[in-house]
Amino acid sequence: MSDLNFSCTQCGKCCHDLRLPLTRPEAIAWLQRGGTVEVLCEAVPWVAEPAASDAPAMHKRQRSFPACSGELPIRVIVVLAASFKGACPHLGRDMQCGIYDNRPHVCRIYPAEVSPFRSVLPSHKQCPPEAWTSPTPFVRNNQVVDAQTQLHVSLLRHGDQLDVAAKAWLCIALDIQSAGLSNEGFMAHCPSPEALHSVLQQTPPVATDRSPRRQWSMVTNQATTFDALCLVSAKPVYARALADGPSHYLGFRPDAPPREQPA
């Protein structure tokens, strides 16, 4: 996942909207417990294949499927995310996790990062000092060294890659075809729990290199991005022009619409 701050309520950050990235089996289980799961979509312009040595680009490639926005080739990254306002619905009055033995990987790895390109900096986390050293050191040189956490981080990353075909199929089945520009924002799609649960359990048809690439809109709240996407014949949409409905835009920056033209 890129720049959304996914935080664990076990740390006391329970008072605002939170989203927890889930693997597909975790999303099915979360829905079965009555929770809400959103489908977060971001698009990466993909005009040429990266070199194998370009680790960040290869990481994005493994987590995404190919598509188009107008004439612009893109890759779409889809994240299934549990979402809730306030405290996690599984946090009990005793401040204990009600599904502790079955809690998602992302809860098990906190304060480690899902992204392999982010350092784990204690100064950026809310864990008490002793959490970093007891009973054994958690990080060394800003890298996680705790073996259990490393295992869950790799399971989460592996699941992210395994789920790509299912997520591409999910977008077709639920008619999802808009995404934010990577590193600028996401489109958060909120299908009905029943529809999402049903599609997540289906086996996706096998895609081939000849499978047609679907058309996607790229949503932005930045006038400069909108103009740049027009220049490359993509299909941009202003976030503020979106109709009310079960989808909304999550931007990382404040709205920057075009300036009013002088009369």
Binding site for ligand SF4 (CB under 6 A): 8-10, 20, 88, 90-91, 97, 99, 103, 107
Helix (H, G, I), strand (E, B) or coil at 259: coil
Residue closer to ligand SF4 by CB (options 103, 197) is 103
Whose tokens are 């990062």? That residue is: 113
Sort residue 252 into left (φ over 0), alpha (ψ -120 to 50) or beta: alpha
Residue closer to ligand SF4 by CB (options 14, 173) is 14
Neighbours of 131 (CB within 10 A): 14
At closest approach, how far in Å is the CB of 18 from ligand SF4? 7
At closest approach, how far in Å is the CB of 147 from ligand SF4? 20
Residue closer to ligand SF4 by CB (options 20, 41) is 20
At closest approach, how far in Å is the CB of 237 from ligand SF4? 33
Dihedral sign for Cα 112, 118, 229, 263, please.
positive
At closest approach, how far in Å is the CB of 154 from ligand SF4? 19
Residue closer to ligand SF4 by CB (options 10, 150) is 10
Residue closer to ligand SF4 by CB (options 9, 69) is 9
At closest approach, how far in Å is the CB of 22 from ligand SF4? 10
At closest approach, how far in Å is the CB of 97 from ligand SF4? 3
Q: Token pair for residue 74?
A: 């893109």
User: Whole-angstrom Cα distance, residue 193 to residue 32?
Assistant: 9
Q: What angle do CA 140, 144, 148 make, to 5 degrees?
A: 130
Which H helix or E strand runs over 43? strand 37-45
User: Whole-angstrom Cα distance, residue 169 to residue 80?
Assistant: 13
User: Whole-angstrom Cα distance, residue 47 to residue 4?
Assistant: 25
Residue closer to ligand SF4 by CB (options 88, 168) is 88
